[in-house]
Amino acid sequence: MTCNITENKTAPDPARHVAARFDIPSYRYLDSDGRALAPLPAFAGDYDHIRKLYRMMLLVRSFDQRAIALQRTGQLGTYASCLGQEAIGTALGDAMAAEDVLLPSYRETPALLMRGVAMHELLLYWGGDERGMAYGKVPHDFPICIPIATQAPHAVGVASAFKLRGEQRVAVSVFGDGASSKGDFYEALNLAGIWRLPVLFIIVNNQWAISVPRDAQSGAETLAQKAIAGGLGCEQVDGNDLIAMRERIASALAHARAGEPWLIEAKTYRLCDHTTADDASRYRDKVELERHRALEPVVRIRRYLEQAGQWDQRQEDELKTSNDTEVENAVNTYLAAPPPSAQAMFDHLYAVLPESLHWQLVQATEQGHGCG
């Protein structure tokens, strides 16, 4: 076999050999002391609005603490806190239209509460009672998704339905940095891009997937840029900056509603253990944790309000008291809920129960386990 090698004597023009170039915009409005780094969007001057969002962030803090206390005393199953990530879900729940559909992971407590899910419903769920996922006020939102990244292709299905029906609704799928390493995520991006679906993906990059740090998860410089390969718009946002998150999510929803699928990488930090079944001190550096604690979102937005003369210690104390009462009322409703019947576990598995399970149903009913 002969091989002819033609020597290229002219130097290649690098510009002609570039298949693609990209920039990832990155947004932040407030520094960690709540001071403006850039002209703020108009809604930031509506202090009633910002106070309402702050109230939710603080309510979620109270709820989280109480849920962990319930778990520690054997009154709740495993619980996933969202400590340090409150701005993302709060902004999302505020920006979405009521008729949009949320497909949450297990750390979207603020978004779910903003959407109208009741705290006692969330407690029921974390207590192992599936009735908690039959949201009274937002039955069209999806249950909390524990399998990692499966809500991304689900959102593609929901958005496809919206497109086929000609509805002006957006499917919003929220998941973690770890989820963005999974095949489900890439497959979802691919279809969202080619079908031009009304879908928004939010990667909550809290820097950890249980004990695996962000740097060990992906060689990509940003997680946002993964969307480019699928033909989606994308950006990075400081996930601890409520103003930035609220403004960028509204913009992304508008893109998605117009058939331009979008992805936001919200950069934040998981200040808590992965769940109540974890002890992050075994794998995480204390210095890193403290560095990120100084950047957390709740104090940042409180300082913003204080500097504008729109918040003081008296209001803070009153809010904490009323939030604690609200959480306690939800806990009481949860604890007073009668247990589900033993048959409930058969209810939503099959349209027609197979014969092999039928006798188990009969047995459960006859023994009257937990019928209530």
CB of 53 to ligand TPP, least distance (A): 21
Kindly tell me which residue out of 210, 289, 299, 319 binds ligand TPP, with binding defined by CB under 6 A.
210
Which tokens go with 128? 């192992």
Residue 120: active-site member: no
Q: Which of 100, 260, 279 is nearest to 174 (CA)?
A: 100
Residue 283: active-site member: yes
Residues 20-79 that bind ligand TPP (CB under 6 A): none
Check binding of 298 to ligand TPP (CB under 6 A).
no
Which tokens go with 64? 């989280």
Question: Candidates 169-177, 231-239, 291-299, 342-350 — which segment interacts with ligand TPP by CB under 6 A?
Answer: 169-177
User: CB-wise, 106 or 311, nearer to ligand TPP?
Assistant: 106
What lies within 8 Å, CB to CB, of 104 at 6+ separation is 111, 112, 141, 142, 144, 145, 151, 174
User: CB-wise, 162 or 185, nearer to ligand TPP?
Assistant: 185
Residues 136-165 that bind ligand TPP (CB under 6 A): 146-148
Question: Candidates 66-74, 167-175, 208-216, 299-307 — which segment interacts with Mg ion by CB under 5 A?
Answer: 208-216
Residues 246-275 that bind ligand TPP (CB under 6 A): 270, 274
- Cα of 285 vs its chain's centroid, Å: 25
Check binding of 111 to ligand TPP (CB under 6 A).
no
Identify what 267 binds: ligand TPP, Mg ion, none; CB under 5 to 8 Å per kind.
none
CB of 184 to ligand TPP, least distance (A): 8
Identify what 148 binds: ligand TPP, Mg ion, none; CB under 5 to 8 Å per kind.
ligand TPP
Residues in the chain: 372
> What is the distance between the alpha carbons of residues 169 and 186, in angstroms, rounded to a whole number?
22
Question: Candidates 64-72, 172-180, 224-232, 273-281 — which segment interacts with Mg ion by CB under 5 A?
Answer: 172-180
> What is the distance between the alpha carbons of residues 353 and 255, in angstroms, rounded to a whole number?
43
CB of 226 to ligand TPP, least distance (A): 13
Question: Candidates 24-32, 169-177, 314-322, 340-348 — which segment interacts with Mg ion by CB under 5 A?
Answer: 169-177
**Exposure string over 76-108, b if 16+ CB within 10 A, otherwise e:** beebbbbbbbbbbbbbbbbbbeeebbbbbbbbb
Alpha helices in 166-312 (DSSP H): 183-194, 226-230, 242-257, 286-293, 297-307
Residue 314: active-site member: no
> What is the distance between the alpha carbons of residues 217 and 149, in angstroms, rounded to a whole number?
15
How many separate helices (H) and strands (E) can be counted in the chain?
A: 13, 8
CB of 91 to ligand TPP, least distance (A): 17
SS3 202: strand
| First vs last C-alpha separation in the chain | 83
User: CB-wise, 210 or 344, nearer to ligand TPP?
Assistant: 210
Kindly tell me which residue out of 206, 217, 222, 276 binds Mg ion, with binding defined by CB under 5 A.
206
Check binding of 208 to ligand TPP (CB under 6 A).
yes
Question: Candidates 29-37, 159-167, 205-213, 331-339 — which segment interacts with ligand TPP by CB under 6 A?
Answer: 205-213
> What is the distance between the alpha carbons of residues 353 and 333, in angstroms, rounded to a whole number?
32
Q: Which amino acids are annotated catalytic?
A: 270, 274, 283
